Amino acid sequence: MARALGRQAHAGLILFVVSVALACAAEPGAPERWRRAQLAGGCAQAVIEVSRLAAEGDATAMQQLSDWRYFGACLPKDDALSAEWARRAAEAGSDEAMAALGQLYWHGQGVPADRDQARFWLGRAADAGLAPAMVLLSRFLYEHGGEPALVLAWARRAAALGHAPAYAWLAELYARGVAGRVDFAEAYVWSARALATAPTAQTGDGNQMAALQLTRAWAALHLGRHDDAVVACDAVPAHAPEYPAAQLYKAHALLLNGQTGNALDLYAANRVLRGAEAFTAALRADFAALRASGIDHPGMRRVEQRLLPGG
């Protein structure tokens, strides 16, 4: 595999040099103009222009064709063609295409899933300074058992560039445990920063504000910041999938803050909301995690006796 990667890197360098020599790059702002044409129903002319530039070796145009094929916009959806144009654009020197191609290899879209290729292209985009690619590479390494220090380093490097999704990913990493330990203080700081910077910031895998609020609430519980946990839980809307978990965390916060009666009412409501079986499993898991962290409020046993089977 290393030899194959070497051949592709060499080919990419050649294509990049050729594309520069042709001096046929799309003008500044062209992608935005193509996007506006797409939204306004002017695809036909945009496709002609983009196809011409792509044939001349322009990486931006190649990536646009890849995007159109991926989303089925302006051109029929075709994952294989999307991947092929992403590959050409990446080999022609487009950092964004490198990141896109890495994701396609990661998830096996239009190409066979290939971890080595995914890491290679995500790594090239990250090395080029593309912050979203740094987050993607960090996530990829985390998912596939990469070195924890590298997982954290790439996430922090993206955060240092002011990339808001990196703040959210760091919050998740510290809450889940990275480099062998959980750090709720860091999780709290990064989740708060992500929410302050971009309330709808995404972590890279589609999780939005509600998931961030859950991370913030869970960290606040472990830090004894019970009022902050309640605020975070209340920020999760009732229509969000995270709402039942947020309400359970809120009950924990009230309980740990000495408001046992209010907590019991909220626990009972959560059991109705989730169903008895799901509620029992969630409560047991949360209490086990809290106790493992050294938090064992007397009220927890009272809740178990009152609401859990065999309590």
> What pLDDT shows up at residue 30?
80
Predicted model pTM = 0.80
SS3 state at 35: helix
Q: Which two tokens stand for residue 57?
A: 């070796």
Which parts of the chain have pLDDT scores under 70? 1-28, 179-180, 198-208, 311
pLDDT in tens, 68-113: 999 999 999 999 999 999 999 999 999 999 999 999 999 999 999 9
Handedness of CA 236, 238, 243, 247 (dihedral sign): positive
Q: Which of 130, 169, 134 is closest to 150 using CA atoms?
A: 134
Contact call for residues 214 and 188 (beta carbons, < 8 A): no
Q: What is the pLDDT of residue 260?
A: 94
* Domains of the chain, residue spans: 7-115, 239-311
173-181 contact pairs (CB < 8 A, 24+): 173/138, 173/142, 174/219, 175/215, 175/218, 175/219, 178/142, 178/148, 178/151, 178/152, 179/148, 179/149, 179/151, 179/152, 180/148
- pLDDT at site 24: 38
CATH of domain 7-115: 1.25.40.10
At 123 the pLDDT is 98
Model pLDDT, residue 29:
78
* 25 burial via Cβ count (<10 Å: 0-12, 13-18, 19+): middle
